[in-house]
Amino acid sequence: MPLITYRKALNEAFSEELTRDDSVFLMGEEVAEYNGAYKVTEGLWERFGSKRVIDTPISEAAFLGLGVGAAMMGLRPVVELMFWSFAYVGFDQIINNAGCVRYMSGGLINVPMVIRGPANGGTSVGATHSHTPENLIANTPGLKVVCPATPYDAKGLMIASIRDNDTVCFMENTLLYGNTGEVPEGSYTIPLGVADIKRLGTDISFIAYGRAVLTALEAAEILQAEHGISAEVIDLRSIRPLDEETLLTSVAKTHRVLLIDENKPFCGVSAQIAAMIAEKAFDELDAPILRVTALDAPAIYSMPLEKLQLPTPERIISKALTLF
């Protein structure tokens, strides 16, 4: 299998789907002629033209709403937010229109749209540009949320998201765009709602998604080598729908859980998973449920300090050790 970047994997997903289905189009700030602020859409405007790959003014609310309207009519918009942080100027369109119109119409309407872009801290772009709204969005029944960690997952989940008939909020990561991995050529899908066990283990379950999966894997290796503790690393891949079964199975095996995410802690995704486990697997637990999240402060600019804000292998390991 070719070794390609996360960025390229997404790019392939778009070109597959643009080719396969005329109703798919890409839209967003600088996605076309500029090739995307992070080059995720590189070459697509040249190849598919201005009808299918569309640059927008800086009007997120309007073009997100446009996407919803076009999707109601049966098109399949893939709308880029240059950063998911900018979703907040169009939040109403996402929550109320994409999220509620199906229900309020008694099922007469569906909104087959993908809203995508990076959602991550860690790049010194400051508090307003480093939001991770997966928890805020996944709070809304009607919306789906996907956070891929690897190039392989990114491509397969993106194709599945574009083909999904509901709105999928797809959260990428600028720190992952350059990562490489093996990715099949051509089309394949990874179903939403299926977690992936990225590392088998027996002593503790690390539950993570997005970039935190890689941090968790790193921590797991060290834990094995230095402490002889075998951590299972589960990648949620999709936040909503959520693969609770895989999580519960792992907990039933390891009896110890550490949740790792780059979300802010208060009502973050790991809070939801912790609550779920405390309800559904309580009797399996041999220790408290612990979490390693982004430090609970706005994203700081200063480079060395921002590194401390996101989960690190060290923080994971020291937390994990308290459970034994």
Catalytic residue numbers?
60, 129
**Under rule CB under 8 A, which residues in 226-265 are in contact with other proteins?**
238, 240-244, 265
Determine if 64 is a binding residue for its own copies (CB under 8 A): no
Q: Is 55 in the site for other proteins (CB under 8 A)?
A: yes
CA dihedral sign, ordered 211, 213, 216, 217: negative
> Three-state SS for 274?
helix
CB of 2 to other proteins, least distance (A): 25
Rounded-to-integer distance, Cα 10 and Cα 28, Å: 15
Residue 106 burial (10 A CB sphere; 0-12, 13-18, 19+): exposed
Distance CA 27, CA 80 (A): 6
**Residue 1 interacting entry, from other proteins, ligand TPP, its own copies, none, C-beta within 5 to 8 Å by type:** none
Of 161 and 181, which has the nearer Cβ to other proteins? 161
* Whether the Cβ atoms of residue 11 and residue 43 lie closer than 8 Å to each other: yes
Q: Hey, which residues between 80 and 119 contact its own copies (CB under 8 A)? A: 85, 88-89, 91-92, 95-96, 99-100, 103-104
Stretch that binds ligand TPP, among 82-90, 187-195, 209-217, 292-300 (CB under 6 A): 82-90
* 104 scored as a contact of ligand TPP (CB under 6 A): no
Q: Which stretch binds ligand TPP (CB under 6 A): 10-18, 81-89, 113-121, 276-284?
A: 81-89
Return the number of the residue (56 or 215) whose C-beta is nearest other proteins.
Answer: 56
Q: Interface mask (CB under 8 A) for other proteins, residues 130-169, using x and -?
A: -----------xx-x---------------x---xxx---
Which residues is 24 bridged to in the sheet?
76
Which tokens hold the place of 155?
Answer: 């491509």
Indicate the residue among 64 and 251 with the shorter CB distance to ligand TPP. Answer: 64
Residues ≥6 apart with Cβ < 8 Å to 106:
none
Site for other proteins in 285-314 (CB under 8 A): 292-298, 300-306, 308-309
Residue number, 12 or 306, with CB nearest to its own copies:
306
DSSP for residue 100: H
Contact yes or no for 213/159 (Cβ under 8 A)? no
Binding of other proteins by 206 (CB under 8 A): no
Beta strands at 180-182 and 3-5: parallel, antiparallel or unpaired? antiparallel
Segment contacting other proteins (CB under 8 A): 7-15, 86-94, 205-213, 252-260?
86-94
The nearer residue to its own copies, 17 or 80, going by C-beta atoms, is 80
Distances (CA, A) of 125 to 3, 81, 128, 268: 29, 16, 8, 21
Secondary structure class of 53 (helix, strand, coil): strand
Tokens 């390891």 belong to residue: 254
Other beta carbons within 10 angstroms of residue 20's beta carbon come to 13
What single DSSP character describes residue 79? E
* Positions that interact with its own copies (CB under 8 A): 61, 85, 88-89, 91-92, 95-96, 99-100, 103-104, 126-128, 131, 135-136, 138-142, 240, 264-272, 274-275, 277-280, 282-283, 285, 287-291, 296-298, 300-301
